Structure 1
C-alpha cells in the first residue's frame, strides 16, 4: 500500500491532475500538486493548507516552502510570505519563485548587487525564461544595476549568449541597456557573431554610434577604423551584417578568396561588365575630420592596381571615386586622404573597378590623421 501511495505521489508532481492521496506521511508531491491546483482554481488562500501539508511531509524541500510563500504573498500576508521565502532561500538556489521574490525585494531596497545575484541564479537555470527580458530591464534600469549585472556577466553565465542573440521586439531603451551591459562587461564573454546581431538591430534603428561601439568591442579592428581589413574573417557564404564587408551580387562581378604562403587571405576582384561598378563596400561611422585610406594590391600589375577607385560617401557615388596614390617605399601600397564632414554619421567605404578590370586587394586601413 505504501509503495502504491508513493508512486501516485511521484506521479502527481509531473501530472497534477492525476489521482493522488493527501494525508499520509509521504504525500509531499500530492500536496504540492493540490496546492497548485487550488491556487489556480480557488485562489491563493485555498492553497495555504495544502502547502503546509507538503512542508510537513518534506520540510527541507525549497519548492514546498516556496509554494507556501507564494500562496501567502498573493493572499496579502506579507510577513508570512517573507518568513517562508527566508526559509526556502536557505534550502538552495534552484527554486525560481524564491529567486524572483528576493529579486523584487532587492530592487525595492535598491540593493543592485543582490538583485543581480538573484537574477543570475534564476537565469542560470532557465536562460530562455519567458520573463528574462522584463527582469533584465528592471535590474538594468539604473547605472548601478547595469554595473552589478556586468559583474555577473564577466563570469560568462549560460544566459549571456541568449541575452545578446534573442532581441525579438525589444524597445529602444532595452536595446541601449544591452549596449551598456556589453560595454561594462568588456571583451571575452561574447564572440563577434553575438555583436553582429545587436549591431544590426541598432543600425536598423539608426543608432549608429552605439552599433559601432558594440561591434568594435567584440569584432576589434586592430587600431584601424575598417573591420577585417586583412580579410581574415571574410566569408562569401555568410550573409554580411553590421559593419562587415559586403560584396556585389551582380553576375558580372567575380570575387575570390586567395590564400597566401603565411596562411593569410586576400581578395581577387574582377569586373566583367562594360561599366565601372562598386565591387566591395563596408559601413563605417566617422566623426568629422581628416582620414587616410591605405590598401595593398599584391601580385597585381601596376596598370591594373592603379585602376582601383575608392569612395567614402553617404551613398554609393561614383563621382567621388578616385584613384589612390602610390606610397613611396612600400611596394603595391596605395593611399588617399579624405575629409569627412557632418553630412551623414555613417558612410560607405567602397572599392570600384572600371570595365574589364582585375586586381588583388589586401590590408585595407582607415586611419585618423593627426
Structure 2
C-alpha cells in the first residue's frame, strides 16, 4: 500500500510530526478558502484572455491578494535550495521588467538597438528628454502584473501538503473533464448554436471554456497527463478491489479528454495528442510493458487511426495540415525575427510587440485582423526581452529538470514519483505549443503550469509573520493591483466615450491616453486632443494615434512643417492607422508620388475601410505612365480589391484602350495576368457600347489566345446563369430544359455541359458572345446522348450583334458534318464566314425537339479556329 507524499526532506517530515496540530491548522484554514477559490476562478475564467478584461482583472487582483496573504507566512530563512532557486527566478523576472522602466538619458536611449524610429518620433514631437528602456513602460508594467497569477499558483502549490496537492490535481482534471463535453457539443452544434462562455473567433469549434482552440487543446493534453497519476481519478489509497474502478475511471477520462482535443480541430493539439496519450499509458503502468502488450497497443492504435480516418472532424484536420505551408504564422515569425535582430541584445520592452511589429509588417500581409502576438513565444520573448529574457527561459527549463529529478529521488510512493514526470512533460508540451502559439499568456495555462512546478518544491515550515512583514509585501502588491484596476477601468471608460474620466483614472496608460485622444478629436476639442496626444507619445513614442493626432493638430495650428514632419513618420510606423494612411495618400497624390499614394490606399482597403471612396480615385492613374507603373506594381501583389478596381475602370470613363492594354501587359510580365473574372465587367460594358474590337483586344491582352472562352467547360461548375459576360457561357431560361457543368460520365472528358430536356423545348442549349474579325472559321464540338440518333440533330449558328441589338441583323448558319468516336461521342464540324457587317456575334448551340420524348446529352470540346486560306 502506498504512503502519503511528504514532498520534503526527512528532517522536515520529523519537524512536522513534532508540530502540534493546533499550531498549523488555523493558518491553513484561514487561507484555504481564498487559495482554493482563486485556483477555481483562474482555471474556470483564465481561458478568456483579452476577450474578457474583467475576468483577467479579477484573476490578477485575487492573485495579488493571495500573494499578500501567503508570502508573509513563508519561513524565508528555512527555504531549501529548490525553493530559493524558484524564488530567485521569479524575482529575476520582476527585476528585468523593472529595469526596462528605468528612465535613461535621451541620447543614450535613442542609441539603443531598435530605438531609432522611436527617437525620431520623440524628437519630432519635442520630447527627446529622458525615456525608459522599454518603448512603452506602461505596457511593461502591465506585463509585470501578468506574473502575479502564476506566482500565486506556484506559492499555493509549494505550501501545500500531499492531501492539498492531490486536491489541486483533481481540480484541474475535473475542470478539464467538464470542459471536454462542452467542446464536443460546440463542434456538433456548429457556429450558429454553439454554447460559448466567451466571444471567440473559433466559434463552432471545440474551445470549451477558452477563446482559442489551440490553448484549450493544450489544457486538455496536460489534463491527460494528470489523469494518469495513480490515485487522482480514484482514491488516494485504493484498496485492492478498487483498482479496477480506478482503471475504468482513468480510461474513461483519457477517452473523453482525447475526444475533446479532437473536437478543437487544432493541428498542434492533435499532433501532440499521441505524445500525451503514450506518456499517460507509461505513467499509469506499474510494471514494464511486455512485448505482447506493446504489440497489442500498436494494433489497437492502427485500428483506431483507420476508424478515425472516416470521421468528418478528422478529414477537416487533415485538410488543415494540407494547407499548413500557407499559414500566416510563418510570415509572423520572419517579421518578428527581423525586428528581434534589430533590437538585440536588449529588446524593446515587454508588452511592446503590438507597437514594434507593425513597423516590420509588409503591405502584402496587411489584413483586417491585427497581429497581436508572434505566435511563437520564444521569438516574441527575444524581441521584447532580448538575450536576458532567453537566458531566464533557459534557467527556468534547467530548474524544472533539476527540481523534477530531485523531487522524484526523494519521493516515497509511486504516485509521488509520477508527479515530477507529469510536471516535466507538461512543461515540454507547453514549450512545444509555444513554438506555434502563445498559450502561457492564458491565465489557465500559466496557473496550471505553475501549480505543477510548485509541486516540485518541498514544503517549507509554516509560521506566522508580524505586521511589519505583512506591510513589506502588501504595499507594493497593493500598488500593482491599483495599477491593474485603474488601467482596466480607464479602458472601459474610454470604450463608452468617457475620455476625460479615463485619462484621470489611468494617466500612466498609453492605450487609455490614445483612446482619449481619439475621443477628443471626434468631439472637436482640439486643445485637449493635442495635450493627450503629447502625453501618449511621452509614454509610447511609437503609438500611431499619438503621432497622427499631434501631427494634424500642429498643422491646424499653423505649424505645418513640424506637423508634416511628424505625420511623415507615420509611414515607417506601419500601415495600420487609417487616418494617417489617408493623410499620407493625399499628400503623395498632391506631390505626384502615385506609387506611394497607391500603397497607402492599398493599406486602407486591405483593412476593409473606405474602399468605396478610394477605388474611384484609382482609374485616374491610368492616364500617366507613372500611374500605370504604380498600378501594375500594386496589382501584382494580388490585393483583394483587384476585381473591384477593374470593375471601377469599367464604370468610370476617361481612359483610353491603349492605356488599359498597357496596364494589362504590365501585369502579364509581372506573372499576375488579368483573370477572366477581373475583365468580365469591362468586356460587358465594351460589348454593350458596340466596341467589340476593344472587347477582343482586352480578351487577348489578358493572355487569352482562344477565340472563345472555356470551350472545354473546365472554368466553371454548376448550373449556368441566364446571363454572363462576353467570352463566357450562359443559357437562356427555357422551360423544361436544365443545363449544368459537371464531371462527364465518360473518362477523359473532364467536365462537360450536361443538358436535360423534356423534349418539348426548342432553342439554344448554350450560347456565348464573342468578337470574330471578318473571315472564315471552322467550328468543332462533341456531343454524347442517351439516344444516339438524337446527337446529329444538335445544331449551331452565329447571331450577329451590334451593341445589345440583334434584331434586323443576319444570322450566320453553320452546316455541320458528323463523325463518330470510339468512346460514344460524336464530333460536329462546320465552317462559316463572318462579314464586316457582323462586328459581334453570339455563338449558339441548339437543341433538337423530340415531340415530348425526354432526353439527356453532354456537350464538350467547343472550339473555333481560323480556316486556312486556300492556295492560289
> For 2:707, what is the secondary structure of its paired residue?
coil
CA distance in structure 1 between the aligned counterparts of 2:788 and 2:487, rounded to whole angstroms: 86
- CA shift, 1:352, in A, is 2.3
Worse-superposed segment, 116-125 or 262-271: 262-271
Tell me the residue number matched to 2:626: 144
Matched residue of 2:585: which SS? helix
CA 1:2–1:139: 2 relative to 1, 3 Å: farther
* Structure 1 position 245 matched with structure 2 position 735: no
Per-residue deviation, 1:8: 3.8
SS at match of 1:90: coil
SS at match of 1:20: helix
Taking the aligned partners of 1:142 and 1:360, their CA distance within structure 2 comes to 49
- Describe the SS at the equivalent of 1:250: coil
Superposed CA offset, 1:163-216 (max 9, x none): 457x59953448988887555323647764454455446555666555556666
Residues 152-167 of structure 1 mapped to structure 2, 5 A cutoff: 152-160=634-642, 163=645
Which stretch of structure 1 is more off in the superposition, 72-81 or 324-333? 324-333
Which residue matches 1:365? 863
- Equivalent residue in structure 1 for 2:763, among 277, 280, 293: 277
Provide the rounded CA distance (Å) in 2 between the counterparts of 1:141 and 1:66: 32
Is 2:807 the partner of 1:324? no
- The two structures, once aligned, show a CA RMSD in angstroms of 4.2
Contact 1:115 1:139 in 2 (8 A): no
Matched, 1:66 2:553: no
Q: Is the 8 A contact 1:283 1:347 kept in 2?
A: yes
* RCO comparison, higher one (Cα < 8 Å, 6+): 2
Question: Which runs of structure 2 are paired with 1:251-330 in the superposition (5 Å)?
Answer: 251-253=735-737, 255=739, 258-267=744-753, 277-298=763-784, 304-314=790-800, 315=806, 320-325=812-817
CA contact (8 A) 2:781 2:862 kept: yes
Q: Pick the structure with more helix per residue.
A: 2
Q: Which among 488, 508, 511 is matched to residue 7 of structure 1?
A: 488
The residue matched to 1:104 in structure 2 has which SS? helix
Q: Which of 17, 29, 33 does residue 498 from structure 2 map onto?
A: 17
Question: Cα distance 1:159–1:230, how it changes in 2: closer, same or farther (>3 A)?
Answer: closer
Given that 1:99 and 1:121 are in contact with CA atoms closer than 8 Å, whether structure 2 keeps it comes out as: yes
Residue segments in structure 1 that go unaligned for 5+ positions in a row: none
Structure 2: state its 5+ residue gaps.
1-481, 801-805
Distance apart, 1:64 and its partner CA: 0.6
Bigger strand share = 1
- Structure with higher Rg: it is 2
Which whole-Å CA distance do the structure 1 matches of 2:609 and 2:618 have between them?
12
| Partners of 2:650 and 2:685 within 8 A in 1 | no
- Provide closer, same or farther for how the CA distance between residues 13 and 138 of structure 1 changes in structure 2, counting only shifts above 3 A: farther
Q: Deviations over 1:214-241 (max 9, x none)?
A: 66677x76x4312122223454524252
Q: Which moved more, 1:195-204 or 1:175-184?
A: 175-184
Asked whether the 8 Å contact 1:271–1:356 carries over to 2, the reply is no
> What TM-score do the two structures reach when normalised by structure 1?
0.77
Q: Where do residues 30-109 of structure 1 align in structure 2 (5 Å cutoff)?
A: 30-42=512-524, 44=526, 47-109=529-591
- Distance in 1, Cα, partners of 2:488 & 2:754: 70
Find the residue that maps to 2:498 and give its secondary structure: coil
Aligned length in residues: 367
Contact 2:589 2:597 in 1 (8 A): yes
Question: Secondary structure in 2 aligned to 1:333?
Answer: strand
Q: Distance in 2 between matches of 1:354 and 1:364?
A: 18
Q: Secondary structure at the match of 1:259?
A: coil
